[in-house]
Amino acid sequence: MKILMVSAEAVPFAKTGGLADAVSALAGNLSELGHDVKIVMPRYYKIDRKKLTKLEGPLGVPVGTGQEWTAVYEAPLPGFPKVEVYFLDHEQCFGRDGVYGTKAEPDFFDNPYRFSLLAHGAFQVCNKLQWFPDIVHAHDWSAGLVPVLLKHVCRQQPQFRNTASVYTIHNMGYQGVYGKEKFTDLGIDWGLYYGAGFERNGAINFMQAGISCADMVTTVSPTYAAEIQTVEGGFGLDGLLRVRSDVVRGIVNGVDTATWNPETDKTLPANYSARDLKGKAICKKELQEFFGLPVRPDVPVIGLISRLVSQKGISEVFAPNYGSFFNICATMDIQFVLLGSGERWCENEINALQSKLPNFRAKIGYNEKLSHLIEAGSDFFLMPSQYEPCGLNQMYSELYGTLPIVRRTGGLADTVENYNQDTGDGTGFMFDSLTPRSIYDTVGWAVWAYYNKKDHIKKMQKKAMQQDFTWEASCKKYVDVYNEAIFRGCR
């Protein structure tokens, strides 16, 4: 099967979050199964042209009220040499820092024009290569125009007549909403403002149009697929998703087990497995030393790696008026380590808490090697997300024998099995209500089990480490979706 991925980001070239990891991993693993996969994305300022190969001749891309001329570069996807990545090179649109914006300008004013150039350009790249896909797979709001173009423009051309579209929602919280005056930037007929589903409250909504026009719609876990069809989880698009529920599927993202595997992880001071956990104790000791905590093998270490934003439940944990985090550290015999950055008030509060709590240490920012050490050296991992479409850290934690403490939502609900204190079954600890009290009680439950049910903790660790979170299982489900999209879209 020929599959074209269209995305604003893909690792290692550009990344703002889990979307980039998912696109590259899915493309690469599909190619390993024998599919012909290509990716089209922008060439941002930080992607070095010298490391790419330029295709001959310019590429004319219809966008706005005219046409833009771009260059096209290519490079193999690292680790998956059969996957070619094609970069649209347009200095005015993409030759800047930031994918969607910067700290000074979080959402670039011309994003509708920029990502319309990406959508139109993806089809023009196919024409240039004389390679026509069976599936165009568009990712998130920034590629929302892609299913629209296929349905209303490109299928009228013989080369795309048998192409179907799949649209993946990675996060409903970001929909690409802009003023109606930006519609002319999209380079399509005004009749499609209503006809393709762009109009929402007098504005344009890229995600809504993508959902409306795609042959199949997927999101990144079965539970999240159900949640986005509710008023609470749909961010205003739940009604549309219920109307289209027959084409909505939830598929959990896989994990890159070449990178996240405690048996082979080269960043760790010692490797270990479910059969022999001795190396995990060495990792715990090094983690405690790194953060300047007393080296105590008998105390439970709780780790947290997160963007410090409301989606991740940080207010319920760290807001000073709740006091829940202070109480956790002050009333329980634990150690707590944190790695992350985000909202300024939270960073300031975390720094203040470090000076008050001898058993809490944090590093503001991000460090890939340290994130591996936290996953390996911790006993528990806290993820109190308000919503979590898929989540990766809970799966990393399980594979590293670190038991997640999570809210029952989205991909967390699909990948963590709640502890049964009668039998010792489970792979983590779960709570339902996102409140400081629920977080405090569930952390307390996990700490109680650590001190009083050591045999249960060992049993859970081993079960967690044996979970199958590989991309192979996810890819097979995507192939089923692709076949259904072709049946629905091209019959």
**Residues 412 and 388 sit within 8 Å (Cβ to Cβ):** yes
Residues written for the chain: 491
* pLDDT higher than threshold 90 for residue 26: yes
Give the C-alpha separation, 14 to 22, whole Å: 12
Local structure of 312: helix, strand or coil: helix
pLDDT band at 3 (very low <50, low <70, confident <90, very high): very high
Q: What is the DSSP letter of 418?
A: B
Give the C-alpha separation, 391 to 384, whole Å: 11
Could you give the angle at the alpha carbon of 61 between the alpha carbons of 55 and 63, nearest 5°?
155
Q: pLDDT higher for 144 or 258?
A: 144
Nearest C-alpha neighbor of 336 from the set 325, 346, 344: 325
Q: Give the strand order in the sheet containing 335-342.
A: 360-364, 335-342, 301-308, 380-383, 403-407, 429-431
Q: What is the pLDDT of residue 76?
A: 98
Range 467-491 average pLDDT: 94
Q: What is the pLDDT of residue 491?
A: 74
For residue range 159-190, what is the model confidence (pLDDT) as tens digits? 999 999 999 999 999 999 999 999 999 999 99
Q: In which element (H, E) is residue 178 found?
A: strand 177-179
Q: What is the pLDDT of residue 70?
A: 97
Could you give the angle at the alpha carbon of 293 between the alpha carbons of 424 and 426, nearest 5°?
15
214, two tokens:
């795609």
Nearest C-alpha neighbor of 485 from the set 133, 208, 239: 133
Range 302-309 average pLDDT: 94
Residue with tokens 């991993």: 25
Q: At what angle do helices 436-452 and 454-465 cross, to 10 degrees?
A: 110
Q: What is the pLDDT of residue 328?
A: 95
Q: What is the pLDDT of residue 395?
A: 97
Q: What is the pLDDT of residue 256?
A: 87
> Can you count the helices (H) and strands (E) in the chain?
18, 19
For residue range 370-406, what is the model confidence (pLDDT) as tens digits? 999 999 999 999 999 999 999 999 999 999 999 999 9
Could you give the C-alpha distances from 209 to 147, 162, 201, 349, in angstroms and in order?
Answer: 8, 21, 13, 40
- Relative to beta strand 301-308, strand 380-383 is parallel
* pLDDT higher than threshold 90 for residue 242: yes
Distance between start and end Cα atoms, the chain:
17
- Give the bridge partners for 336, in sequence order: 302, 360
Q: In which element (H, E) is residue 374 found?
A: helix 368-377
Q: What is the pLDDT of residue 223?
A: 97
Q: What is the pLDDT of residue 441?
A: 96
Residue type, 473: A
Q: What is the pLDDT of residue 103?
A: 80
* pLDDT higher than threshold 90 for residue 426: yes
88, two tokens:
């649209």
Q: At what angle do helices 278-290 and 368-377 cross, to 10 degrees?
A: 130
CA–centroid distance for 133 within its chain: 25
**Residues 140 and 9 sit within 8 Å (Cβ to Cβ):** no
* pLDDT higher than threshold 80 for residue 349: yes
Alpha helix locations (H) across 137-248?
145-152, 192-195, 206-213, 222-227, 238-243
Q: What is the pLDDT of residue 97?
A: 87
